[in-house]
């Protein structure tokens, strides 16, 4: 493909690929030179050109010698739009999900519902690239724009027609989802997270809102969980833009949750839609799982799914890896659940989901990650000790921070909790003391298969560890 076909100019050079890492530049590459939090890509323009870059996308005023200069006030957005033209075509139907909690479950449930309806569907997010046949880990909720668009194009070549993906606040602020036409966008909820990056809740919400103001197609549909305090902002924006609107939840107008009854292995839902009350046995526990399921149903309906059939398909949903996943049952008969909850709200939701099922105590094992928002640590401790019956504070992913210092910050809010730094021993301690009427929740890492300590990623899977210590 000629560069002129992408830019509309007269450049005759042949484009072979796109890169934002100068070390991945090959002859014919379009290089994106962006300022980052730690590295300034503009410093590597000369290196990229020496490696064969034929064009550089960067800010106005940045010198470029030896290659075509494509300058834009927002170079990341410009780069994404050019890359989308290069990598296309994509699956015919794509939807995106943003929010603090529930993104992973929602995109995976959406994929499952589409598959039940007969579509060849896939999802991209924290769990990686998931299709009916395989899963490939990407390591990021929203991959870099080149990885994202090349993956999406590859899925289209494999016959995928429907794609659901997570749109993280980082990804949205860095234009990592730009260029792909979005038929529907969903909002789950908003609570404190990633303030180490965004600075404050206003900036965090603004990043999420970009999905609806800039990414969602003009004729697309906004799907909104209506029971969150921030939902009105999304609803108002959708109406102002003239988008179609689907709201779900107890305050939802499209799918109204009128009843929810916990059962031994799930919950019974009563959902009013189009004047009819549909009763569904959802095989997942917890109020937030019901919320994710309804948002997923909204996305499927927004993209052509029939209402009654979609709602009845909720009864066939499978659990999502690391999201209230039952890892094992101890010798004493206590179930052990693993969940990805790593914010105060998410931890509270996970505890609330399990509490009705515990005839005895709810024992919680959790920690907090290093090099992340420090302000949520004490709050997570407060949630744990006020909502659970027994709390063990342990290590999560300390990264470059001192693990003991992180635990001390959590314990400021977790008065009366036990402290066991070694995560395996903490899980083992909870398993040993859990009686037949108790439930153990291991929170914070969910699906992750490694523990980040300094520069090392040590093999660690909460589910596997729980099974081993319970054997």
Which residues define the annotated binding site for meso-2,6-diaminopimelate? 372, 396-399, 444, 448
- The separation between CA 7 and the C-alpha centre of its own chain, rounded to angstroms, equals 32
> φ and ψ at 339, to 5 degrees?
-140, 150
Nearest to 124 by CA among 86, 152, 150, 102: 152
Which token pair is 55?
């064009």
Task: Quote the CA–CA distance of 282 and 316 in Å, as a whole number.
Answer: 8
Task: Quote the CA–CA distance of 304 and 134 in Å, as a whole number.
Answer: 26
Contact status, residue 248 vs residue 254, Cβ threshold 8 Å: yes
Contact status, residue 228 vs residue 251, Cβ threshold 8 Å: no
Q: Which alpha helices (DSSP H) does 162-265 contain, by range? A: 169-173, 195-198, 201-210, 231-241
Residue positions forming the annotated binding site: 99-105, 141-142, 168, 174, 176, 372, 396-399, 444, 448
CA distances from residue 370 to 19, 87, 427, 463 in whole angstroms, order as listed: 30, 36, 20, 21
Rg (CA), the chain: 23
Query: Checking DSSP bridges between strand 128-130 and strand 121-125, what pairing results, if any?
Result: antiparallel
Alpha carbon dihedral 177, 289, 190, 115, in 10-degree steps, equals 20
Three-state SS for 349? helix
- The separation between CA 126 and the C-alpha centre of its own chain, rounded to angstroms, equals 5
Edge-first strand listing for the sheet containing 335-339? 325-329, 335-339, 439-443, 362-366, 390-393, 418-419
Residue positions forming the annotated binding site for ATP: 99-105
């Amino acid at each position: 493909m000629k560069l002129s076909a992408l830019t509309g100019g007269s450049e005759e050079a042949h484009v072979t690929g796109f890169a934002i890492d100068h070390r991945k530049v090959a002859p014919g590459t379009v290089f994106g030179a962006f300022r980052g939090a730690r590295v300034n890509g503009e410093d590597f323009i000369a290196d990229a050109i020496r490696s064969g870059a034929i064009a550089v996308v960067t800010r106005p005023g940045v010198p470029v010698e030896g290659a075509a200069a494509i300058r834009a006030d927002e170079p990341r957005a410009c780069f994404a739009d050019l890359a989308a033209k290069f990598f296309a075509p994509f699956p015919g139907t794509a939807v995106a999900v943003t929010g603090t909690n529930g993104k992973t479950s929602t995109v995976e449930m959406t994929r499952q519902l589409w598959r039940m309806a007969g579509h060849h569907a896939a999802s991209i997010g924290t769990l990686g690239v998931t299709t009916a046949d395989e899963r490939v880990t990407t390591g990021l909720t929203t991959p870099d724009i080149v990885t994202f668009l090349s993956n999406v194009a590859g899925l289209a070549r494999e016959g995928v027609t429907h794609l659901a993906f997570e749109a993280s606040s980082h990804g949205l602020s860095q234009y990592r989802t730009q260029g792909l036409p979005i038929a529907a966008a969903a909002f789950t909820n908003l609570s404190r997270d990633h303030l180490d990056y965004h600075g404050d809740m206003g900036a965090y919400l603004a990043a999420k809102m970009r999905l609806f103001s800039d990414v969602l197609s003009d004729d697309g549909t906004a799907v909104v969980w209506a029971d969150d305090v921030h939902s009105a902002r999304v609803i108002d924006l959708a109406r102002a833009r003239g988008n179609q609107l689907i709201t779900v939840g107890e305050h939802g107008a499209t799918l109204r949750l009128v009843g929810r009854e916990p059962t031994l292995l799930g919950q019974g839902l009563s959902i009013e839609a189009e004047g009819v009350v549909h009763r569904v046995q959802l095989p997942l526990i917890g109020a937030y799982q019901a919320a994710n399921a309804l948002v997923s149903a909204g996305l499927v309906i927004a993209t052509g799914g029939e209402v009654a059939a979609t709602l009845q398909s909720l009864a066939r949903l499978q659990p999502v890896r690391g999201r209230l996943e039952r890892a094992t049952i101890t010798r004493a008969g206590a179930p052990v659940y693993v969940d990805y909850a790593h914010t105060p709200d998410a931890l509270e939701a996970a505890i609330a989901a399990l509490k009705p099922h515990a005839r005895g105590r709810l024992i919680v094992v959790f920690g907090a990650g290093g090099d992340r928002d420090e302000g949520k640590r004490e709050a997570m401790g407060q949630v744990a000790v006020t909502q659970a019956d027994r709390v063990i504070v342990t290590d999560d992913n300390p990264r470059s921070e001192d693990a003991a210092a992180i635990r001390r910050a959590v314990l400021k809010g977790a008065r009366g909790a036990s402290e066991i730094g070694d995560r395996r021993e903490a899980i083992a301690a909870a398993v040993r003391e859990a009686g037949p009427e108790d439930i153990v929740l291991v929170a914070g890492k969910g699906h992750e298969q490694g523990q980040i300590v300094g520069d090392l990623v040590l093999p660690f899977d909460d589910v596997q560890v729980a099974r081993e210590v319970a054997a």
